[in-house]
Amino acid sequence: MAHPVYAQMPTTIFEEMSGLAREFGAINLGQGFPDTPGPLALRAKAADAVLNGYNQYPPMAGLPELREAVARHYARTQGLDLDWRSEVTVTSGATEALAATFLALIEPGDEVLVFQPFYDAYPPLIRRAGGIPKLVRLEPPHWRFDRAMLEAAIGPRTRMLVLNNPVNPTGVVMPPEDLALLAEVCAEHDLVAVCDEVWEQVVFAPARHQPLLAAPGMRARTVKIGSAGKMFGLTGWKVGFICAAPALTHAIARAHQFLTFTTPPNLQTAAAYGLEDAQGWFEAMPRELAASRDRLTEALRQEGFAVLPSQGTYFLTIDLPGSGVTMDDRGFALHAVREAGVASIPVSSFYEQAPVTTILRLCFSKADAILDEGAARLARARDLALRR
Ligand code: PMP
Ligand code: GLN
């Protein structure tokens, strides 16, 4: 028999909404992926590696060229000093990195701090590793936390904090004072911080991403997770990396070796090439995405929607009551995809307790014409709902 957690679990909200978008021929502003094919030079490199390169098992911890490129990239962009041999592991996407980390570091009964709204994979993966998620509930419009909220969720069994920064779905890039507070709390309570930083390159000026790993006292107790899929707008590639001090890396790599063992070598070769950033991608990509964010924001505001600020990720959010929508987020998302042909993501899906039901997430990594039409269709969805 299946484990009850899985037997009763619905598919993810991303799968559900993309499925409905296909069924209804809708514009898909739900699941986060760009509608461009991704950097040509990287795809050419991957194709060449498939045709002319080595297609057998690569080393378990990843190709040395990629692990070195990861360490160099973080030295250049985030001032980190990582030893690629003992502190970098390549995984099959950030999702596998999260699974390996939880399996390796959680003991049955350990409590793990998780912010709501969370990335949907965290609670089920933590539970299957034997952990107990302890939820810290954040609210719009600022999604801020303070020491009292953290302390209230921490008990004698708390061992770990999971931090997603930049934050999906809210578009927040954590300010240095929030990171400093988290570092203090982790040190005081002897917590390991698992930092899901897959959106670290998708940050819009003047916001700047800073890794919690670099905060005082965090070097030995932080697991930093990245994703080439997100860095290069190639979300299907599923090449992730884990950076952590040698003792943590050792344990996590042992979990990784029995999850996927390795990741396709050709995509690793291409990711290594991309990280050297010969094309200036890391400068151009956020600039272009910031223009798309502004375009969708403007189109939505013209239609009377209340748009919340987004400093990073592919997403912005709208406040439904402030936009004249009386339905809750899930009701409106289902109505909009079926009746007006536009898919979105209800943020209540990322809560387990006391969900915020007033916020809708929209993906703006799309062509201008799609964004304009998406905003018009959302307005139509609102008007149809009001007429009911
Ligand atoms: N964490 C967060 C916060 C994400 O948004 C995503 C993907 N959107 C992932 C993890 C998964 O990344 P990957 O596709 O590399 O597994
Ligand atoms: N992370 C992507 C998003 O937030 C979706 C990933 C998935 O479909 N699991 O939209």
- pTM (whole model) above 0.85: yes
Q: Which fold has domain 40-276?
A: Aspartate Aminotransferase; domain 2 (3.40.640)
| SS3 assignment, position 152 | helix
Query: Which pLDDT band holds residue 245 (cuts at 50, 70, 90)?
Result: very high
Which ligand is located closest to the Cα atom of residue 226?
1
Which ligand is located closest to the Cα atom of residue 343?
2
Ligand 1 pocket at CB < 6 A: 32, 93-95, 119, 164, 168, 196, 198, 227, 229, 235, 238, 240
CATH H superfamily, domain 4-31+281-387: Aspartate Aminotransferase, domain 1 (3.90.1150.10)
Q: What pLDDT, in 10s, does the model give residues 254-307?
A: 999 999 999 999 999 999 999 998 789 999 999 999 999 999 999 999 999 999
Q: Is 120 in the pocket of ligand 2 (CB under 6 A)?
A: no
Minimum-distance ligand 2 atom for the alpha carbon of 169: 4
Q: What pLDDT, in 10s, does the model give residues 132-179?
A: 999 999 999 999 999 999 999 999 999 999 999 999 999 999 999 999
Q: Is the dihedral of CA 157, 160, 161, 164 positive or negative?
A: negative
Q: Is 168 in the pocket of ligand 2 (CB under 6 A)?
A: yes
Q: What pLDDT, in 10s, does the model give residues 171-193?
A: 999 999 999 999 999 999 999 99
Which ligand is located closest to the Cα atom of residue 12?
2
For every residue of 51-111, DSSP letters joined together read HHS--SPPPTT--HHHHHHHHHHHHHHH-----HHHHEEEESHHHHHHHHHHHHHPPTT-E
pLDDT at position 329:
98
- Rounded to the nearest angstrom, the distance between the alpha carbon of 82 and the centre of ligand 2 is 28
- pLDDT above 70 covers what percent of the chain? 100
Q: How many CA atoms lie within 13 A of 226 on its CB side?
A: 25
Q: Domain boundaries in the chain? A: 4-31+281-387, 40-276
Task: Determine if the peptide bond prior to 166 is cis (ω within 30°).
Answer: yes
Backbone angles phi, psi at 83, to 5 degrees: -90, 110
Q: What is the mean pLDDT of residues 328-351?
A: 98
